[in-house]
Amino acid sequence: MDGTDHIGRGTLHDELVDRLRDMIVEGDLAPGSKVNEQSLCERFAVSRTPLREALRSLAGEGLVVLRPRRGAAIAEVTRQDLEEAFPILGALEALAGELACQKITDAEIDRARALQARLVAHHRAEDLQGYSATNAEIHRLIMSVANNPTLARMLKSLDGRVRRARYLVNMSGARWAAAVAEHEEILAALEDRDSARLGAVLKLHIANKLASLCEQLEI
């Protein structure tokens, strides 16, 4: 191994953006730190041009701050940022849920039931990592059933900011139990194909996440 993390040329920009986003979300690139372009270029075996293009994309997502003549820095996590992002996320998730209710098949409802059962099992086992992965899979299922590429792109633009905030905290016992109950309501609305009800539940679900994150981050 030569210490580099090579990226296929055919998908250079998108994959570089994805890799850098994950590094920011997972804390490998710390909030407020200056981006070391040389180190990243060496790590991914790319020149500065594609790296800077990727950083511009991440700046558009609110994860990077571009500072003239001082280089790029990783954006801080602030209450203002979360209060801007989460209501938009809630509205988009609600729309995805409403569309999903109009299109969901019996087989997809069965898939949602299986995921909910797995979610509950992870909660009972206090397996936060497994819970988080299954939670994300449920929301991806709803988005997939909604089948609206424009909506999916809009949600993806918020993904990094939202995931980073979640990554910084551990879900509390009370909030965790409440989240599981909210997911039960999400499943029930899907089973009934009740668009208005699911939209309202998803908005509340996201609003409660915002309140919990702000409380735990003390911002």
Q: What is the CATH number of the domain that holds 54?
A: 1.10.10.10
Q: Is 198 in the same domain as 108?
A: yes
Instruction: Tell whether 92 and 70 lie within a shared domain.
Output: no
Beta bridge partners of 67: 71
State mean pLDDT over 69-97.
92
Number of domains in the chain: 2
Which residue among 52, 74, 96 closes a domain? 74
User: Quick check: 62 and 12 in contact, CB under 8 A?
Assistant: no
- Please check whether residues 55 and 89 belong to one and the same domain: no
> What's 157's domain CATH number?
1.20.120.530
Statement to judge: residues 181 and 202 lie in one domain: yes
**pLDDT value at residue 182:** 96
DSSP H helices in the chain: 12-25, 37-44, 48-60, 79-103, 106-124, 128-146, 149-167, 173-192, 195-217
Q: Over 80: is that where the pLDDT of 5 sits?
A: no
Q: Kindly report, residue by residue over 122-141, the tens digit of the pLDDT.
A: 999 999 889 989 999 999 99
Whether residue 160 sits in one domain with residue 123: yes
pLDDT reported for residue 1: 44
Whether the model pTM is above 0.85: no
Question: Of 19, 44, 74, which marks where a domain is finished?
Answer: 74
List, for residues 198-218, the tens digit of each pLDDT value: 999 999 999 999 998 888 887
- Domain identity same for 175 and 201: yes
State how far the Cα of 182 lies from the Cα of 48, in Å rounded to an integer: 45
**3 state DSSP class of 202:** helix
Task: Note whether 120 and 160 are same-domain residues.
Answer: yes
Q: What would the pLDDT profile of 21-78 be if each residue is shown by its tens digit?
A: 989 988 899 899 999 999 999 999 999 999 999 999 999 888 999 998 888 999 998 8
Asked if residue 35 and residue 98 are part of one domain, the reply reads no
Q: Are residues 66 and 105 in the same domain?
A: no
- In the chain, beta strands by DSSP E: 64-67, 71-74
Contacts of 17 (CB under 8 A, 6+ apart): 54, 57, 58
